Structure formats: C-alpha cells, structure tokens
Amino acid sequence: MTTPHTEPQPLRERPKRADARRNYENLLAAARVAFTEDDAETSLEDIARRAGVGIGTLYRHFPTRQDLIEAVYVDEVEALSRSALELAQLPAWEALDGWLHGFVGYVGTKQALANELFAYSGPAAEIFANCRAALYAAGGPLLERAQDAGIVRDDLDIGDVLHLVSGIAKISTPDPAQMDRLLDVALDGLRRNR
C-alpha cells in the first residue's frame, strides 16, 4: 500500500525569527484575502495595512509584487500538499476523493493568482514546474493507494487525474453545488469497472 510518508519539503524559505515569521505569515494571510477574495489589483500598501505592518516590512519580505504573489501561490500549494498527509489516514477512496475536492477548491480560488504569475513569468516558469511537482508528489501516493486497493483504474496517473479535475475547476458556474456534482461524476469515472 502506498501512502505519503514525509512532510512535503517547503518550496519557499520562511523567516526563522519568531517576530519576522509572524509578520511574514500576517502578510501572506492579508495578501491571500486581497488577491483571491477581493481584488487582484489591491495595492501593496493596503496589504501591509491589513497585515498590521509597515510598508517597509512588506518590502523586506517581498521586494516586488511578483514575490508576494508567488509566496501566496506557493503557500497554497504547500497547504494542499500537507493535506494529503492528513487525508492519508482515511480509507483509500475517501482520501483521494477528499484531496481532489480540495484541489478543485484550490484551483478555483487561485486562478487569478496563476494568471497574474503567467503575466510576469510565463507558463514555463520554474515556480509552476516546482508547484506541479509538489502536487504530483502529494496526490500520487493517494491515487496509487486507491489503485492498489482495486478501487481506481490502473490506466491513470496523477497527471491525468489532475488535468481532469483542473478542467472541472475552471468551469464557470454560479452554483458551487453544481461544481461538486460535476466533480463527483468525473471521479466516478476513475473507479474500476466491477
């Protein structure tokens, strides 16, 4: 049986001092809200204010807007990767299903960030390759475990599955329940014929 065994390696170094780490985390939290829930064009000054720090502190951690956007994007990838370890404690299908539902939520809310990063770096940028590798490393063992249990078809790999659910996540629908129904239908297609 295949399961994730180790905590994923961080894709980005975080400050070591407690106060600097706290400011860093506050800035990430404020930027996450600003970039994903509010307006991707939110000013850096507004993000610093929301985080309760001065603009100089923001620039010490994130010298450019791109650095801040990358950090938020990477932080979300790391959180999704860590969730695979937590879900690995569940039965094989529940773990995979839960992680893929989390993945769809991640894609849906991070599309604006990805688009802004594409504009800065292009889709072939190293950040995207590193994040993709981290997601494959997190989700791959969950898929393999479901395949080993005879629940999921053997002719799929994690790349196939993530392409499938990414496409679903990008569908524009005003009703989140419809997105869940579409994902459930697609995930039923992963199951091995009995």
Instruction: Please write the tens of the pLDDT for every residue from 64-108.
Output: 998 998 899 899 999 999 999 999 999 999 999 999 999 988 887
Q: What is the pLDDT of residue 179?
A: 84
Q: Two tokens at 141?
A: 């063992």
Q: Looking at domain 14-63, which of 1.10.1040.10, 1.10.10.60, 1.10.8.50, 1.20.200.10 is its CATH number?
A: 1.10.10.60
Q: What is the pLDDT of residue 3?
A: 45
Q: What is the pLDDT of residue 176?
A: 75
Range 64-188 has CATH code 2.170.120.12: no
Q: What is the pLDDT of residue 2?
A: 43
Q: What is the pLDDT of residue 68?
A: 93
The pTM for the full model equals 0.82
Q: What is the pLDDT of residue 169?
A: 85
The DSSP bridge partners found for residue 152 are 191
CA 35 remoteness from chain centre: 14
Q: What is the pLDDT of residue 1?
A: 43
Q: How far apart are CA 138 and CA 143, in angstroms?
A: 10
Return the H-helix or E-strand segment holding 156: none
Instruction: Give the chain's residues under pLDDT 70.
Output: 1-16, 37-40, 194
Domain ranges of the chain: 14-63, 64-188
Residue 174 to residues 27, 171, 177: CA-CA distances in angstroms?
30, 10, 9
